[in-house]
Amino acid sequence: MSRKCAVTGKGVQFGNNVSHANNKTRRRWEPNLQETSLLSDALGRMVRLRLSTNGIRTIEHKGGLDAALLDIRDADLTPAALKVKKQIAKAIAKKQDDVAA
pTM (2 d.p.) = 0.84
Q: What's the 3-state SS for 62-88? A: HCCHHHHHHHCCHHHCCHHHHHHHHHH
Q: How much is the pLDDT for 100?
A: 79
Q: How many CB atoms lie under 10 A from the CB of residue 68? A: 20
What does the pLDDT read at residue 70? Answer: 95
How many CB atoms are closer than 10 A to CB 11? 14
- Over the chain (101 residues), what is each successive 10-residue block's mean pLDDT? 90 97 97 96 95 96 95 93 96 89 69
What one-letter code names the amino acid at 85?
A: K
